Chains A and B, each alone.
Chain A
Amino acid sequence: MSQGSIILKLISLPISIILICLGIMTILGGHITPGGGFQGGAMIAGGIILSVLVYGIGNSPFELSHTYIEVLESVGALGFVIFGLIGLFVGGFYLYNVGTDILNVVPQTIQSVLHYPDVTNAGIIPYLNIFVGLKVFAGLSAIAIAFAGFKKYVEEGE
């Protein structure tokens, strides 16, 4: 089901890789700049979708298996829920921003590594962004891959 010309196929993989890197950059800067988990995850999925559209579902360089997508989606959702529950039990509210010093038991060395030294003191927001980004990347990629698979199935049936 390959649809692209040679020129498209030559340029799509580099553009996909650059797009994915930009998405990861957006995820990691989401707490102090416009962007965040959803936007970055959507950019990463955009790179995957570009490859699937140009190379076709069977020849795409990004070959995401069912297990891979399932694990990423689950890790993203589970991490988000765990951070929410930490906020609930420590701060009294779901997703309360408890910061990097949870219950005063985290050593200072680890705190200084986890803490982003910016004026806003983002706390757990960067880590929430990472989990949301994983989940959105897996979800949107799965949708595009499923649609491409359905199209291939219909074309083969005709």
Chain B
Amino acid sequence: MLLIWPMIFALILGLIIGSQIKLKNGDTHFTLGSFIVILIAGIIVAWQSGNYPFYTDLPVSTAFLSALIGIFVGKLIFARSK
């Protein structure tokens, strides 16, 4: 059974933290492709974590994935200054 409420909390926490990401023009330049690579790496980490911490839902860590999606959505919606 998929637990919705913890995923919502993970999404909210990710949104709160992702809203503060502001990429600046320095030595490094993170593009859309960089974030896709981070998303793929995050999916691998979530898969390797198993169904932690709820043990009864999907075989990936849904809290981890929700937090990752929350961070990206927060970055896209709230942190558009740069």
Asked if A pairs with B, the answer is yes
Cβ-defined partner of A29 (8 Å) among B24, B42, B52:
B52
Distance, CA A65 to CA B20, complexed state (A):
9
What range describes how many residues of B lie at the interface? Answer: 35 or more
Q: Decide: B17 and A20 in contact? CB cutoff 8 A.
A: yes
Check: A6 CB closer than 8 A to any chain B CB: yes
What range describes how many residues of A lie at the interface? Answer: 35 or more
Q: Given contacts A13-B30, A18-B42, are A113 and B5 in contact (CB under 8 A)?
A: yes
Q: Decide: B68 and A21 in contact? CB cutoff 8 A.
A: yes
Interface of A: prevailing SS: helix
Residues of B within 8 A of A (CB): 1, 3-6, 9-10, 13-14, 16-17, 20-24, 26-28, 30, 34, 37-38, 41-42, 45, 49, 52-56, 61, 63-64, 67-68, 71
Excluding A9-B28, A61-B30, 16 further A-B contacts by CB distance (< 8 Å) are A2-B26, A9-B26, A13-B28, A18-B38, A21-B42, A21-B64, A24-B13, A24-B64, A25-B52, A25-B61, A32-B55, A55-B26, A59-B24, A61-B23, A116-B54, A130-B13
